[in-house]
Chain A
């Protein structure tokens, strides 16, 4: 049973719109947005899929902070009984709370965040030493769900549209450290370009807001170290 009312403001094409939403004890921000769409205004557009923090679809700005809304409890983010929901920052808005994720995924590919295999089906599977230092580095970043929360949080992305962003660069770092990936030269070249890892100011918003508690800032620092080593030793 609703015990109270939440004052919800949602940023839409024509400006912010207010809604009164019944408050429950256990309620996520996604529940609130869904309530509005199902009960107050069916034209409200937003995006979600799994509702359990796996798919990375439902990220939005909540009270000015990027969050995965399906795993964000209203009680932890409300300002009094008020809550302000908007589309993710740093991405083009399609409608209401749905943003165009294309720039985010295009940069993922531009950072060589793709598998670079060197084996055929006739070769045996590459041996992965779980305890090796490189595997530990790779493991630290592979749980990224592509939610773009770090991308929305990043002030460098906000000021520099060409910057590849934390998620893409972190994936480049995990692949660089992956024994199964043979694209190290391509990766280091990709992250050394005009929009590459060297644009990062280490402000740390990516690491602060990552819902999976990953550390893209340290991954990017790793890329800076590796590219610098390459610069001195191989001149590239």
Chain B
């Protein structure tokens, strides 16, 4: 159900998410100190390759990590197995990625490109 590759994928994405979570929380606390408006935040994120990479990689890591975690729960608690388990994992992973990528795109390059 969980071989070496999936295990490593989940552990490596966990390692990535550690600094991402800390960075995210630090920026959230910093950003609201002076009462930043949404427009001001968007002004800093729009067109920023740095924020695109930061949250883009964060979303990729979360999608992989979360999908594998749900795979384990679905198997051990929901008795889902075989092909259905793979479909569930990939489906959830792609759904997480789509939701996250859409949001990252919206605050970085959506307004810039179109």
Whether A196 pairs with B4 at a CB distance below 8 angstroms is yes
- CB of B3 to closest CB in A, whole Å: 5
Please, which residue of chain B has its CB at the minimum distance from the CB of A192?
Answer: B4
Interface mask (B1-18 → A, CB under 8 Å = 1, otherwise 0): 111101110010000000
Whether A196 pairs with B3 at a CB distance below 8 angstroms is yes
Total contacting residues, chain B, CB less than 8 A: 12
Whether A195 pairs with B1 at a CB distance below 8 angstroms is yes
Whether B75 pairs with A160 at a CB distance below 8 angstroms is yes
- CB of B4 to closest CB in A, whole Å: 4
Taking the complex as formed, is A233 at the interface, i.e. its CB lies under 8 A from any CB of chain B? no
Whether B76 pairs with A156 at a CB distance below 8 angstroms is yes
| Chain B residues positioned under 8 Å from A198 (CB to CB) | 2-4, 6-7
Whether A227 pairs with B4 at a CB distance below 8 angstroms is yes
Whether B1 pairs with A194 at a CB distance below 8 angstroms is yes
- CB of A220 to closest CB in B, whole Å: 12
Whether A194 pairs with B3 at a CB distance below 8 angstroms is yes
Whether A159 pairs with B75 at a CB distance below 8 angstroms is yes
- CB of A169 to closest CB in B, whole Å: 14
- Interface size, A (range): 10 to 19
Please, which residue of chain B has its CB at the minimum distance from the CB of A191?
Answer: B4
Whether A162 pairs with B4 at a CB distance below 8 angstroms is no
Partner of A194, one of B2, B11, B76, B77: B2
| Chain B residues positioned under 8 Å from A195 (CB to CB) | 1
Whether A228 pairs with B1 at a CB distance below 8 angstroms is no
Q: What's the Cα separation between A162 and B82 when bound, in Å?
A: 12
Q: Which of A159, A194, A195 is most buried by chain B, counting CB atoms within 10 A of its CB?
A: A159
Q: What's the Cα separation between A193 and B75 when bound, in Å?
A: 16
Partner of B76, one of A160, A192, A196: A160
Q: What's the Cα separation between A196 and B4 when bound, in Å?
A: 8
- CB of B7 to closest CB in A, whole Å: 4
Taking the complex as formed, is A57 at the interface, i.e. its CB lies under 8 A from any CB of chain B? no
Interface mask (A49-84 → B, CB under 8 Å = 1, otherwise 0): 000000000000000000000000000000000000
Taking the complex as formed, is A177 at the interface, i.e. its CB lies under 8 A from any CB of chain B? no
| Chain B residues positioned under 8 Å from A224 (CB to CB) | 7
Taking the complex as formed, is A199 at the interface, i.e. its CB lies under 8 A from any CB of chain B? yes
Interface mask (B57-81 → A, CB under 8 Å = 1, otherwise 0): 0000000000000001001110000
| Chain A residues positioned under 8 Å from B4 (CB to CB) | 192, 196, 198, 227, 231
A-B contact pairs, 29 of them (CB 8 A): A156-B76, A159-B75, A159-B76, A159-B77, A160-B1, A160-B75, A160-B76, A162-B1, A163-B1, A192-B3, A192-B4, A193-B3, A194-B1, A195-B1, A196-B3, A196-B4, A198-B2, A198-B3, A198-B4, A198-B6, A198-B7, A199-B1, A199-B2, A199-B72, A224-B7, A228-B8, A228-B11, A231-B4, A231-B8
Interface residues of B (CB under 8 A from A): 1-4, 6-8, 11, 72, 75-77
Q: A196-B3, A199-B1, A228-B8 are in contact. List 8 more A-B contacts (CB 8 A).
A: A159-B77, A162-B1, A192-B4, A193-B3, A198-B7, A199-B72, A227-B4, A231-B8
6 closest A-B pairs by beta carbon, nearest first, are A159-B76, A198-B7, A192-B4, A199-B2, A198-B2, A194-B3
